[in-house]
A and B are shown apart, each in its own frame.
Chain A
Amino acid sequence: GENVGLHLPTLSVQEGDNSIINCAYSNSASDYFIWYKQESGKGPQFIIDIRSNMDKRQGQRVTVLLNKTVKHLSLQIAATQPGDSAVYFCAEDSGSARQLTFGSGTQLTVLP
């Protein structure tokens, strides 16, 4: 099957800087994308989503960008804080029964 993958497995940023986490997807028919945050020992937590008819969506300190031409998704976190340290997953809808296909994740570490 087609997979969702990430460019960088680890990312370290200074506290206060902006973070950008990237994701490449291969299913051009995917209509819906989600970013999840997973802290150590916990289940994934929804951050933000975007539909394929949009190219940008903003939340609180987070922005998701979608480039369908190159099948690329990114998550931008503004003014990164220590509490942002976690693994971030992108996921895309699999087209049936509300299933999601998850990428392998990026570990974000915020340095003091």
Chain B
Amino acid sequence: NAGVTQTPKFQVLKTGQSMTLQCAQDMNHNSMYWYRQDPGMGLRLIYYSASEGTTDKGEVPNGYNVSRLNKREFSLRLESAAPSQTSVYFCASTGLQGPYEQYFGPGTRLTVT
């Protein structure tokens, strides 16, 4: 049981390049989330998917798109990377019932030059 996995762990992009961050969970969770974490700050929600087939914007969605590929997988795409998107990205998931506890992946450290 791996929990929440993310790939890649590290990535360096040039301004204008595109990339997709992958996330998968094996806990049969319904809801999945993408956050960004900047130095000295808490996590800010980019997009979330309350259930398979649905996605919604969070606090900071500009410059990102997401795809809930199936119940397990939720990807985050940067179409044209900007230096302001340099951050650590975390994926999380939670079940439909019970507490709101979100389980987090190990993160992707992205640098845009």
Once the chains bind, are B107 and A42 in contact (CB under 8 Å)?
yes
Interface mask (B12-51 → A, CB under 8 Å = 1, otherwise 0):
0000000000000000000101000000111111001010
Interface flag for B104 (CB, 8 Å): yes
Cβ B40 vs Cβ A104 within 8 A = yes
How many chain A residues sit at the interface, stated as a range, is 20 to 34
- Contact (A99, B101) CB under 8 Å given A43-B107, A44-B90, A89-B43: no
With A97-B48, A97-B50, A99-B58: A44-B101 Cβ-Cβ less than 8 Å: no
Judged by DSSP, the binding face of A is loop
Nearest CB on B from A12, distance (A): 17
* A90 and chain B: residue at smallest CB distance: B42
Q: Is the CB of A100 within 8 A of B102?
A: yes
Interface residues of B in 69-113 (CB under 8 A from A): 90, 92, 94, 99-107
- Beta-carbon contact of B106 and A43 below 8 Å: yes
Question: When each residue 70-112 of chain A gets 1 if its CB lies under 8 Å from chain B and 0 otherwise, what string results?
Answer: 0000000000000000000100010001111011110000000
Pair count A-B, CB < 8 A: 56
Note all chain B residues with C-beta closer than 8 A to A1.
59
| Chain B residue at minimum C-beta to C-beta distance from A33 | B100
List B contacts of A43 (CB < 8 A).
4, 90, 92, 104-107
Cβ–Cβ < 8 Å partners of A93 in chain B: 100
Residues of A with C-beta under 8 A to B102: 46, 98, 100
Which residues of B are in contact with A by a Cβ distance under 8 Å?
4, 31, 33, 40-45, 48, 50, 56, 58-59, 90, 92, 94, 99-107
A residues with CB within 8 A of B = 1, 4, 9, 32, 34, 41-46, 49, 89, 93, 97-100, 102-105
The 25 listed contacts between A and B (C-beta, < 8 Å) are: A9-B40, A32-B99, A34-B100, A41-B107, A42-B107, A43-B4, A43-B106, A44-B43, A46-B101, A46-B102, A46-B103, A49-B99, A49-B100, A89-B43, A93-B100, A97-B48, A97-B50, A98-B94, A98-B100, A98-B102, A100-B100, A103-B42, A104-B40, A105-B40, A105-B41
